[in-house]
Chain A
């Protein structure tokens, strides 16, 4: 075999970056590729594919940052990606030309386990001993020359977090591409070779040639290998073949499930013999004493709650001035652009109420996302996140979540969008999915206007401010109360696959690297805009169209006639006089023009597709005591909950600019009665059971296009659809229950 990578002259070579978690692999990736990064997904799965370009003097290299993993045993999706990618069996993705293995110099032997597995792929490799500075501080001396000689590949020391700390790596990568060197793999005892041969002979002919030795070892050694899913062995036959192959290992005196770890570590003990030496006493650093405080049953929990309080408060309150600025800027742009398009009303509405509104709809999430990810990056970078998961695991573990669900769920109390993005810190895919599915139940800040409007209009006047604040407080737990049994149910019924063991490394504490933290923060914001922005934009445009069309002029004429007839009676003049008054410039009766405009808006809303749909499905909401206005309000707020306030404003001819504290809107609501001809004619619509029912509906319903867009991006579109339906059904049930039970009691 000509030992030069053939692709090097024709195209960019591709190099995979592989290593354990907590080795500083991401920092290394960032310092190699700088700003030239791209984030995508591997085909068909939701594991993020991060790649970037590295410019070398004589070549450009694409570096692919693979998920951090301790072994090639494909227990999780992340690990499976690593095996499939390295063996070239990821659909639509070419095999890499070479591998950079990253190891933590302070944990060399344990890190070499993965390196030794990767060596079996036969790919050219270079080994990076990162965190070299920490190793020096601990008094560790590592003979890189000797290690390089024993492994047969270049070994480079690096400090990825330091400027110029990867300098030595660049020539090594260049050399690896021109004169590839392959690591000397472990020599297996005969029993393993015999077992592998048995497996290979039982494979279908086409797979016999394509399946690599590494993949066969995965099938042989892993309790339940993901590689098996590619082989069409029937269940019974598979069990027999595996038993037959593993019997070979058993006969040689090894437990087949333990053999790989024992043999690899035995091999690595020989490889590292004399390579690592300790100068003086081992300097453990401050980790032990910090842990004594931060993981303490009492103090640790208190400090944890204090830190989480700061994180929550920051996302909840620090973001709001920035969000206000975005809202303000959106308003300015709408005001500036609107008049320019006055000649074309449809285009004007499309641009101002559709397009500009749509851009604002996703930009407004950015402050919260950036602030949350600043803290997440900080917590992960320092090593505290693992401790937080340790402290919280018991509280979440019983219903299928784990300790890492805490931060995403807490953040969802501000907004589910950053909260769902934050689930990326959960390695167990099942726990991650359950967390994603219940995150939208947390009472986000967009539900607040609904609660404030209804509590302010109905509960505070009748029951006083103490009860009002109590109800507001209680509303924040309605979603949580639904989320916990839901998580338990999903875990038991929906996902029958066993949970992953919760084995979590507690890395040594680090001083966080601001450059890296800010980088992570800006990346998460950028990614959100790129991946979810278009969907949120599209949803805004669609709902705009449903509210705008159809728009026959007859509607406007009819509304105008109705308006003048009514106002004329009130003012005891003729309708013609009133119309004339409106035409006279300067001397308009107070609020007349605005009143007319609101009347027309209302008429168009009632005539719109959404308005008609609202009336059509109103019977569905009858058991919850909703009238057509509430139903339209509920439907119009599916893109975003807070829209109900402005929609109700329009249906009461108060215009769309009302807010939740508007006294006119509150009065209008409390005076609403069922019209003559209905079963409840003359009775008030907003009774206590209805008011509580509406609030419960908003607490449980999936009324947020942005959240659904993010669920679809982070898991699968199917899950977004599922989430939409089960939450909406649950919300309906909750509202009906409130109304029916409340009416019975009354």
Chain B
């Protein structure tokens, strides 16, 4: 439930078009709480759809919903390979 001590791959580092599964979302950031309320929960499959022209923000898709979030916020989302 709480983030592990050694951070693994995060959403901020996912390449465009790649799929991954969410391991945990750091809820100590306000963005983390917001993302979880919007349905970004551990176990959900997530896809990085697009990166904006200047490298930030990112567009993701999960469970039929598309969201845009900044890299800084995406760094709080830990992933595991599917």
Contacts and interface: CB of A to CB of B under 8 A. Distances in A.
Contacts of B25: 258
Given A224-B30, A503-B35, A394 B64 contact: no
Interface in B24-46: 25, 27-39, 41-42
Interface string A661-689: 00000000000000000000000000000
Given A296-B50, A297-B51, A391-B53, 13 more contacts: A73-B37, A107-B65, A255-B27, A257-B32, A284-B64, A291-B66, A295-B50, A300-B53, A393-B57, A394-B57, A403-B57, A501-B70, A508-B66
A505 B37 CA distance: 13
10 contacts: A106-B64, A258-B1, A261-B27, A262-B1, A262-B41, A291-B59, A301-B53, A390-B59, A393-B70, A505-B68
B2 interface: yes
B28 A390 contact: no
Contacts of A578: none
Contacts of A265: 39, 41
B39 A503 contact: no
Contacts of A507: 66
A606 B79 CA distance: 74
B52 to A, nearest CB: 6
A73 B33 contact: yes
Interface string A260-301: 111001000000000000000010100100011001111011
Contacts of A505: 38, 65-68
Given A255-B2, A390-B57, A397-B56, A502 B30 contact: no
Interface in A155-206: none
Nearest to A69: B37
A223 B28 contact: yes
Contacts of A258: 1, 25, 27, 32-33, 36
B70 to A, nearest CB: 5
A487 to B, nearest CB: 17
Interface in A306-322: none
**Range of interface residues on A (Cβ < 8 Å):** 35 or more
A333 interface: no
A501 B29 contact: yes
A113 interface: yes
A75 interface: yes
A142 to B, nearest CB: 14
Interface in A493-539: 498, 500-508
A389 B68 contact: yes
A395 interface: yes
Contacts of A397: 56, 70
B49 to A, nearest CB: 7
A134 to B, nearest CB: 11
B69 to A, nearest CB: 5
Interface residues of B, number: 37
Contacts of A506: 59, 66-68
A110 interface: yes
Given A297-B53, A389-B68, A397-B70, A501 B59 contact: no
Given A300-B53, A505-B65, A500 B2 contact: no
Contact of A504 (B2, B37, B50, B69): B69
A403 B56 CA distance: 11
A260 B33 CA distance: 9
B69 A502 contact: yes
A70 interface: yes
Contact of B54 (A110, A395, A502): A395
A254 interface: yes
A82 to B, nearest CB: 13
B40 to A, nearest CB: 9
A284 B65 CA distance: 11
The 9 closest A-B pairs by CB, nearest first: A501-B31, A394-B54, A257-B27, A261-B36, A506-B66, A258-B27, A110-B39, A71-B37, A504-B68
A403 B52 CA distance: 11
A297 B16 CA distance: 12
A519 to B, nearest CB: 27
B34 A70 contact: yes
A296 to B, nearest CB: 8
B59 A295 contact: yes
Interface string A217-230: 00000111000000
Contacts of B56: 393-394, 397
Contacts of A107: 64-65
A261 B34 CA distance: 9
A145 B7 CA distance: 45
Contacts of A292: 50
A70 B68 contact: no
A109 interface: yes
A253 interface: yes
Contacts of A262: 1, 36, 41-42
B73 interface: yes
B55 interface: yes
Contact of B53 (A71, A284, A394, A508): A394
A401 B77 CA distance: 24
A75 B53 contact: no
A473 B52 CA distance: 30
A386 interface: yes
Nearest to A498: B30
A595 to B, nearest CB: 61
A671 B68 CA distance: 60
Contacts of B51: 297
A386 B66 CA distance: 11
Contacts of A254: 1
A255 B2 CA distance: 6
A394 B51 CA distance: 11
A389 B69 CA distance: 11
A498 B34 CA distance: 15
Contacts of B30: 75, 223-224, 498, 500-501
A255 B64 CA distance: 27
